[in-house]
Structure 1
Amino acid sequence: MLKIKTPKTQRAKRALEERAPKIVENAKKTLILHGTKTSDVLNAVLMQIYHIKGGSAVKYTKKNANIRPFESGGETSLEFFSLKTDCSLFVFGSHSKKRPNNLVLGRMFDHHIYDLIEVGVHNLKSAENFEYDKKLTPRIGSKPFFAFIGEGFESVEELKQLKEVLLDLFRGEVVESLNLAGTDHVFVCTALSSTTVCFTHCALRLKRSGTLIPRMELVEVGPSMDLVIRRHRLPNDSVKKEAMKTTSDQMKKKIKNVSSDILQGKIGRVYIPDQKVGSIPLSNDIKGLKRERREAKRAKRPGENQAKKPKIDSE
């Protein structure tokens, strides 16, 4: 069991606050794990996801026999690794006779499992199997486009959950503004049936069109695979409400002496302290009063400022 320790320094306190759940989340990292047994197909899939994620993924190559996300008590090791690496997304690969080429995608909230979806991988074509210009290789950190083709992504519960998980897994860091030159690849997900999705990764090529809007072409760069949904687990209602909380849901801090009215709008009260006029020291030696007195004296003698006329002697 993990021990709960209180921070003893400001640096440790800031580190814990950085990992704590926030209204505005940090960039999500992905934890990639192997089960007791994996196949060549699964190893290739996990490596392809790790390359697509770039620096925002942590990959463990050691086999983990104690991780069973859908079983009670089997998520303890998974939550421990999530807390250790500060990852809020995970991809777990396992292979068995009952569930071959099994891939479990899931999300964490406060380092506890939020939701899970299990898919089987079929018809894998890795990036090495595609021939294309290497200049079209997507850059690390670039933002992708997503295309979800099919009505099932809006009506079928399993496909809706898979859509949300794939968006969180590959969208990268959330930004406010976007440059068109920074979007160089597209994820195309086509719903073939209510349980099967064709997943394709394409590079985006911009060409001249004679207008301000360039012409876009898609070049498949891999990986490409079919995902067959097997099991899924939705989040608890109370946990979902806490995880989906936004800034607008927070209670606004009450401002003292300020109220609002339908007719008058915002009304505020201003309290002015008592003015102790009797304790203010007064002095008669005020320059302003002296100046007024001098100007009053000059006004009484109007001929003082007039120039004296020179005397003219008459013969």
Structure 2
Amino acid sequence: MMDIKTPKTARGKREVEKRAPKLEENGKKTLILHGTKTSNVINALLTDIYHLKKGNAIKYSRRNDNIRPFEIGGETSLAFFSLKTDCSLIVFGSHSKKRPNNLIIGRTYDHQIYNLVEVGVENFKSMESFSYDRKIAPKTGSKPFFAFIGEGFENVEELKHLKEVLLDLFRGEVVSNLNLAGLDRVYVCTAVSPNKVFMSHCAIRLKKSGSIVPRMELVEVGPSMDFVMRRNRFPDEGLRKESMKKPSEVNKKRKVKNVTGDAIQGKFGKIYIPDQKVGEKTLPYKAKGMKRERREGKTKEELKNKKLKLASY
């Protein structure tokens, strides 16, 4: 039997509550790890990714010998680190003669490896190698644009898989409203061939255009690199179905009375108006037209005598 450890301090209880399942999950954190051997290119790339994800990333600088994600049993350490740091995204860098400048990006579900993408890094340029005005540098926590250029991102399964992982890695927290001042960067990914992708990171510079909409210019701020596709590990079907499940509280929609929806014309509503019984309404004052009823109520003789009386005068 395994012992279940319960938190004994207030701080421990708060940490457990943070990691508990929620209807609206917290932002995903990224764990950055080094392999047994790394090159200068991989070290610089992992440092740049850490700066781009600052605030939502944890970086370990120690070498890890037992991490081999694509081998049987080699993913145990990744699951352990994911549970320890409560990270849903993993970036692992290594270097060997067989796979030089190797980068592995993976996602986890319930601290189990969900999927993995392995790419080789070529023509790498770090953020320090670009000279630009530091005033236009992207701010920490800003939301980026993404531009995926090329038919390969729609037709090739490996590139579609890479697109999903890159979106999940760099998009940040999910928000409902955005301030235009917070949109100051863009990631441009171009599918050069079915197994090669060029990726660059640019800052957005807003200039006057003579209208309300400003003119946008892109200034490359780095990092930039070429990704060469190597290996892919697609999610297991059972784990994928489990991760796609939605709680009953989300699926349950509250029914609104007398409201119907139409795909073309939008929302329709029925309004109940009670019968207006006008005949039973009492008027606040007597109108002048009511005097006519008095004349009609008098007899003909009284009207004749009144006329004769007026003629005598």
Q: How would you bin the TM-score normalised by the shorter chain?
A: 0.7 to 0.9
Q: What aligned pairs does 1:102-117 form with structure 2 within 5 A after superposition?
A: 102-117=102-117
Q: TM-score, normalised by structure 2?
A: 0.77
The 2-side partners of 1:120 and 1:113 are apart by 21
**Which residue is equivalent to 1:223?**
223
Number of the residue aligned with 1:168 = 168
**Which residue type is aligned with residue 25 of structure 2?**
E
Residue of structure 1 in register with 2:127 after alignment = 127
Give the aligned partner of residue 280 of structure 1.
none
- Provide the C-alpha distance between the structure 2 equivalents of 1:190 and 1:41, rounded to a whole number of angstroms: 21
Could you tell me how far 1:128 is from its partner in structure 2? 1.4
How far did residue 165 of structure 1 move? 0.6
After TM superposition, the structure 1 = structure 2 runs for residues 242-261 of structure 1, keeping only pairs within 5 Å, are 242-246=242-246, 252=252
The Cα of 1:7 is off from its aligned counterpart by 4.8
CA drift of 1:76 comes to 1.1
Summarize the Cα distance change of 1:238–1:254 in structure 2 as closer, same or farther, 3 Å threshold: farther
Residue of structure 1 equivalent to 2:199: 199
Q: CA deviation at 1:239?
A: 1.1
Q: 1:14 to 1:222 in 2, by over 3 A?
A: same
Q: Secondary structure at the match of 1:82?
A: helix
Match of 1:224, SS? strand
Q: Partner amino acid for 1:204?
A: I
Q: Is the 8 A contact 2:197 2:228 kept in 1?
A: yes
- For structure 2, the 5+ residue unaligned runs are 261-313
* 8 Å contact from structure 1 (residues 203, 218) kept in 2: yes
Extract unaligned runs of 5+ from structure 1.
Answer: 256-261, 263-315
Question: What is aligned with 1:98?
Answer: 98
Query: Residue type of the partner of 1:121?
Result: V
Looking at structure 2, the residues matched to 112 and 28 of structure 1 have their Cα atoms a distance apart, in angstroms, of: 15
Q: How far does the alpha carbon of each residue in 1:230-272 deviate from its partner, in whole angstroms, 9 at most, with x for none?
A: 00011111211221223578664999xxxxxx9xxxxxxxxxx
Say if 1:196 and 1:254 are closer, same or farther in 2 by CA, change over 3 A: closer
In the TM superposition, residue 78 of structure 1 has moved relative to its aligned partner by 1.1
Contact 1:21 1:110 in 2 (8 A): no
1:36 aligns with 2:36: yes
Which residue in the other structure is 2:188 paired with?
188
Corresponding letter in the other structure for 1:122: E
C-alpha deviation, 1:194, in angstroms: 0.8
What CA distance in whole angstroms lies between the structure 1 residues aligned with 2:131 and 2:139? 18
User: Does the C-alpha gap of structure 1 residues 253 and 154 become closer, same or farther in structure 2, counting only changes over 3 Å?
Assistant: closer
1:24 CA displacement: 2.5
Partner secondary structure for residue 54 of structure 1:
coil
Cα distance change of structure 1 residues 244 and 23 upon mapping to structure 2, 3 Å threshold: farther
| Cα distance in 2 for residues equivalent to 1:63 and 1:198 | 28
* Distance change in 2, residues 1:69/1:23 (3 Å): farther
Tell me if the contact between 2:23 and 2:250 (Cα under 8 Å) persists in the aligned partners.
no
Instruction: Name the CA shift for 1:143/1:253 in 2 (closer, same or farther; >3 Å).
Output: closer
* Counterpart in the other structure of 1:15: 15
Q: Is the 8 A contact 1:23 1:245 kept in 2?
A: no
AA at the equivalent of 2:68 = R
Map 1:228-247; keep pairs closer than 5 Å. 228-246=228-246
Measure, in 2, the Cα distance between the counterparts of 1:33 and 1:205: 33
Q: What is the alpha-carbon distance in structure 1 between the residues aligned to residue 66 and residue 4 of structure 2?
A: 23
| 1:151 and 2:151 correspond | yes
Question: Secondary structure of the residue that 2:55 maps to in structure 1?
Answer: helix
What's the offset of the Cα at 1:18?
Answer: 2.5
Partner of 1:123, secondary structure, is: strand
Name the Cα RMSD after superposition: 2.4
How many angstroms apart in 1 are the aligned matches of 2:48 and 2:3? 36
| Equivalent-residue separation in structure 1 for 2:14 and 2:44 (angstroms) | 38
Distance change (3 Å), C-alpha of 1:73 and 1:23: farther
AA at the equivalent of 2:242: E
Identity of aligned residues (%): 69
Counterpart residue number, 1:58: 58
* Deviation of 1:20 (Å): 3.5
Letter in 1 for 2:205: R
Q: Whole-Å Cα distance in 2 between the matches of residues 145 and 254 of structure 1? A: 34
Note if contact 2:189-2:199 (Cα within 8 Å) is conserved in structure 1.
yes
Q: Count residues with an aligned counterpart.
A: 257
The match for 1:77 is: 77
TM-score (norm 1): 0.76
> What amino acid does structure 2 have at the position aligned with 1:57?
A
Structure 1 residues 134, 8: closer, same or farther in 2, change over 3 A? closer
Assess if the C-alpha contact under 8 Å between 2:187 and 2:201 holds in 1. yes
